[in-house]
Amino acid sequence: MKQIFFAAILSIWCIAQPSYGALAPSKSEAKEEWSLKSCLDNPVKTVDESCLIVNKVNAIKTQKTDPVSIEKMKEIIIETASKGSPISMLVECGTKECLLSRKENPRGRVVYELGVIQALLKKLTEKDAVIYTSFASGGLFQDFIIIAKTLAQRPTAKITIHFIDIYFGIFLEGLKKLGRPLKIDDNISDSSTILPNLIRESLPKVNSKDAGSYICSTFFSTELRLLQFTRTLRKLFPKASIDVFIHRSAREYAESIELPANAPDVLTAADICDNFSTKTKARNDFFNLCRLANKYSIDPLCIYLDCIKCLQKQYVYLLTKKNAAF
């Protein structure tokens, strides 16, 4: 749990820094002006506004961690998030730590998105349903853009989505206590009943007086982010079939899915070139997932943003059996 706790702190710091300078819209302005078109036309502005909302959510604290206090904290977080757009909790790394962010290298993101969307559309012409797996998915904004643009061209598509990120650790621990599956539904969990136990188990392992408050905040913000992702896409594309599952690590993902039936058709990673990813050997995990995909899927497409390729103005690297030792 200690490793999960501090990794999640770093993850939140990376994705929620107010590194973009936009002014947050009022509640009425956000709900009147937000549209998928405006989001796709100006993703940096959308992330600007979401970062400000996420920072406000992260600043919400609770001194007590009894069920009543936790429920009150949840209500405040939900109300704060509602003052932004329908995807106000969806963000992505915008700091200089992320070498291929929209701020540091916007062209890379454009090429990457286009490559992944083309891969999804190709697979959707070959089979009725596709499995899309996003490694180190972070704040989910990048994946939202990709799936939304794909569904805009194939509005009746069936897509099963798997998100893998260490940031999901606390939320997954809570789901385990609730006896809920890894699949995300459209309902807010009754988490105030289990979080006090989760906090009690964690406190002996974490030397921080704010640990209880942080665990609650992380649980609620993670759940809201996932719900916004699924609810918004389902509302925009009501004829599509969208299922979302979450995993804490590549190992847990590989252990939880049924193979070969649920092997990924398209496997992606946008942010595995930063220092944190290097320390955690994220690239190795991604390559191992590519090997798994190539073992069980028919011609899977494994795509990631590559720093070295970026310097050569190529940006995207496609791993296949032809160019990697699978």
* Domain with 60 in it: 2-319
Own/partner contacts of 77-83, CB < 8 Å, gap of 24 or more, are 77/217, 77/220, 77/221, 77/224, 78/188, 78/220, 78/224, 80/53, 80/56, 81/53, 81/57, 81/224, 81/228, 82/27, 83/24, 83/26, 83/27, 83/30, 83/53
Average per-residue pLDDT for the chain:
82
For the stretch 156-187, pLDDT in tens is 999 999 999 999 999 999 888 888 878 898 77
> Which pLDDT belongs to residue 190?
78
Q: Kindly state whether residue 278 falls inside one of the protein's structural domains.
A: yes
Give the orientation angle of helix 169-178 with respect to helix 2-16, to 10 degrees. Answer: 120
Tell me which residue has tokens 């459209």. Answer: 186
- Is 324 among the domain residues? no
Neighbouring-strand partners of residue 242: 159
Span 151-156, mean pLDDT? 97
In a domain, 325, yes or no: no
pTM value? 0.86
What pLDDT score was predicted for residue 10?
36
What is the chain's alpha carbon radius of gyration, rounded to the nearest angstrom? 19
Q: For residue 94, is pLDDT > 90?
A: no
Tell me the one-letter amino acid at 114: L
302-326: average pLDDT? 58
Has residue 326 been placed in a domain? no
Res 104 pLDDT > 50? yes
44 falls within a domain: yes
Instruction: Answer whether residue 264 is part of any domain.
Output: yes
Rounded to 5 degrees, what angle do the CA atoms 113, 157, 43 make?
30
Report yes or no on 31 lying in a domain: yes
DSSP secondary structure of 157-189: -EEEEEEE-GGGHHHHHHHHHHT--SB--SS--
Q: How many distinct structural domains can be found in the chain?
A: 1
pLDDT in tens, 4-41: 433 343 343 344 333 323 333 344 444 457 899 999 99
Q: With 60 as the cut, is the pLDDT of residue 276 above it? A: yes
In a domain, 272, yes or no: yes
Residues of the chain with pLDDT > 90, as a percent, come to: 47
